[in-house]
Amino acid sequence: MHYNFTLLSGLHKGALLILLSELALVLTGVMIHELVKQVPIEVLVLARNAIGLSFFVPWLLRNGRRSIATAQLPLHLVRSLVGIVAMYCLFYSWAHLPLAQAALLKQTAPLFIPIVGFIWLKERITGWAVIAILVGFIGIWVVLNPEGHTQVPWVALLAIFGALLGATAKVVVRKLTLTESSILIVFYLSLFNTLFSLIPALLAWDTPSLWLLMGMVLMAGFATLAQLLLSKGYRYAAAGELGSFTYGSVIFAGLLGWLLWDELITFEAMFGMALVVVSGVIVVLGTIKEHVSRKS
């Protein structure tokens, strides 16, 4: 009895941390939505990466250069290149789309992971995954075209492209985790992304005021907190048990968008969101089941 209670307690803790992580992610989007009115996107991306990199300084000073030794530098570069483009897409979507739409389109990444895995790693796609992916894309179409319009906003297409790149980055990380620690993966991501975002930021540079600088620090703080809470949450329960809670960001974004900017969600959009969430959860659970069956 005590054993079951411990498992339930761990699941509850993990779910709470995942939901808090998604809330921090949406608050990052809120800050971007406001900051972009006065700060170029390129500068915001640099701030996000540079401040994230600064957290590794104490770790480097304590462990020395040996701690960053790697034989997978080309793969780290690929992961960072894909990740930085995905980050630009994400920031543009947070800045220019209704908050709930931006959050939802970011969460379409699980729909692309089986496709990327099939093309790159020759991983099998189950029949359930195919159905879930089709349902998910129907949901996206309903959300973006509640009145049957034939054109999709270019920013929405950019957000979907960012989700595709995000899925690709996760597949690369899957390969990296075979030989690299999670802290090393995040370190090289922060290092290379800071370098990659430096030149675009300098070209678009406009010295921010003290208040704007404080807002940028807060934005980067929320983004870093989201990553930390996410990592902590997955220590308490399996990814398959917690994957569905990542869609809490859609609810948080819908509420904050309504409270802050009077962004209303139509019934059709809510129906489309439900389709995307259900399809994403099916893909996540199917992927976990596939890995478990392989091990057994």
How far apart, in whole angstroms, are the C-alpha atoms of residue 286 and residue 122? Answer: 17
Entry field: residues in the chain: 296
Q: Is the pTM of this model over 0.85?
A: no
Cβ(215)–Cβ(37) below 8 Å: no
pLDDT in tens, 17-28: 878 888 998 899
The pLDDT assigned to 8 comes to 42
Please name which of 220, 243, 225 lies closest in space to residue 289, comparing C-alpha atoms.
243
Please name which of 31, 28, 59 lies closest in space to residue 186, comparing C-alpha atoms.
59
The pLDDT assigned to 17 comes to 80
Cβ(287)–Cβ(161) below 8 Å: no
Give me the residues of the chain with pLDDT under 70, please.
1-11, 117, 120-125, 145-152, 174, 231, 234-235, 237-244, 280, 283-296
